[in-house]
Amino acid sequence: MTTISSTNNATALSILQRMNAPENTSSNTKASALTDVLGPIQSISDASKQAAQRIVAILHDNGGTIDLSSYTRASADVSALNNATITTGDGNTSIEALDRATIHSGSGNDHANVQNYATIYAGAGNDVLRAYSNAKIDAGAGNDWVSAYDHATVDGGDGNDEIRTYDYSTVDAGNGDDVVVTLGNSTIEGGAGNDTLIVTSHRSEKNSTFDNATVDGGDGDDYIQVNGNSTVTGGTGNDTIRVLGNGTTINYRKGDGQDTIGIGTTNITAPANTTINIGGYSKNDVTLTRGDTGVTVSFKGSEDSLTLQFEYGSARLSFEDGASLDVTPTDFTRLQHLQAFVDAPVGGGDLEWLT
């Protein structure tokens, strides 16, 4: 992309102001905008004609502001330093900024790459958003891809999103069939849709945490995977929950559906003992059926069920009246889980079943 000088930028914005005239403006008037402005400056016509379709803005000052919201049909390339405030229109925008940026983009398919303590409001469109630590990101509607470091807060909005963050993050994936991959001490809300929600132990950074996550799958047939000392609520739908560590609690209520829970790994020195809180049923409503691949928990008068599979560990069913029921397998079996990385590239491709 040709970088446009300040003189050419003024020319470009003049063109854009006229090209963004109201819809009832005659096509001849709009067409004459290019002729009137570009005619006298043929020596820079190539750059100016490019600018009529795409703005290039470079903010050299800390704490500066760029507002391109009035150029609703223009795309933009924007670069800024620290503490910048950037507002764009509905074209496809590419934004680069340093720390503490605030970005408002429109309904285009936007790309933003910012550093620490950034705030992004992306609007509708299929956006690609990257941020360092302590970011606040509202991806808006669309099929978005979001990547952030630790202590991020992400709202995916509607659409089939892919969201990857480091530990101590809070993610609301929104409605849609979403993929969320985080590290430990994070909170995930899956929302409506058939989601894949993973708290992984795969990362390239040192000193990351893997346990102590809170995951709520919401409505839909979700796949949820956590490590130890975590809390999982599958929600309604036929969910698959995979527990890879010890001390995790799963919340299940009447009407939640037919869920499958896989417990433990091949590490015999660290059995995964899991508590399953049962709401809406009593111990007397439960029937256990042991099979070759696990234990089925059925509930009287309901189509709800839990299928418990054990690689190495046990489960305790805990009821609202204080009663409990321990479930141990007849045999252990090899179970699959998903390998996932928080720092995978756009498009992922890293999700792989492991046994």
Which conformational region is residue 347 in: left (phi greater than 0), alpha (psi within -120 to 50 degrees), or beta? left
pLDDT of residue 355: 73
- Biggest alpha carbon–alpha carbon distance for the chain: 89
153 or 334: whose pLDDT is higher? 153
Rounded Cα–Cα distance for residues 19 and 73 (Å): 9
Which candidate, 201, 227, 205, places its Cα nearest to that of 215?
A: 227
Q: At what angle do helices 27-38 and 6-19 cross, to 10 degrees?
A: 170
Query: Phi then psi for 353, rounded to 5 degrees?
Result: -75, 130
Other beta carbons within 10 angstroms of residue 36's beta carbon come to: 13
Tell me: pLDDT of 323 over 50: yes
Joined tokens for residue 294:
């696990």
pLDDT bin (cut points 50, 70, 90) of residue 204 is: low
pLDDT bin (cut points 50, 70, 90) of residue 52 is: very low
Tell me: pLDDT of 17 over 80: no
Instruction: Name the least confident of 204-218, 241-255, 315-329.
Output: 204-218
Tell me: pLDDT of 96 over 70: yes
Interval 280-288 mean pLDDT: 97
262 or 351: whose pLDDT is higher? 262
Rounded Cα–Cα distance for residues 170 and 162 (Å): 14
Q: Which residues contact 296 (CB under 8 A, 6 or more apart)?
A: 288, 289, 290, 305, 306, 307, 308
Joined tokens for residue 44:
């820079």
- pTM, two decimals, is 0.85
218 or 343: whose pLDDT is higher? 218
Query: Phi then psi for 335, rounded to 5 degrees?
Result: -120, 150
If you average pLDDT over each of 46-60, 184-198, 262-276, which comes out highest?
Answer: 184-198
**What 3-state DSSP class applies to 283?**
helix
pLDDT of residue 53: 54
If you average pLDDT over each of 72-81, 197-206, 344-353, which comes out highest?
Answer: 72-81
pLDDT of residue 277: 98
pLDDT bin (cut points 50, 70, 90) of residue 164 is: very high
**What 3-state DSSP class applies to 7?**
helix
- CA 148, 106, 80, 52 dihedral sign is positive
Rounded Cα–Cα distance for residues 262 and 253 (Å): 18
Instruction: Name the least confident of 23-27, 112-116, 121-125, 351-355.
Output: 23-27
Tell me: pLDDT of 48 over 90: no
> How high is the mean pLDDT of the chain?
85
Tell me: pLDDT of 10 over 80: no
pLDDT bin (cut points 50, 70, 90) of residue 244 is: very high
Are 199 and 227 contacting, i.e. CB atoms less than 8 angstroms apart? yes
Rounded Cα–Cα distance for residues 228 and 264 (Å): 10
- CA 148, 153, 158, 162 dihedral sign is positive
Joined tokens for residue 10:
């003024």
Tell me: pLDDT of 39 over 50: no
What is the four-CA torsion angle of 214, 237, 347, 175, rounded to 10 degrees?
Answer: -80
Interval 155-181 mean pLDDT: 97
pLDDT of residue 270: 74
DSSP per residue over 114-165, as a string? --TT-EEE--SS--EEEE-TT-EEE--SSS-EEEE-SS-EEE--SS--EEEE
Rounded Cα–Cα distance for residues 62 and 146 (Å): 26
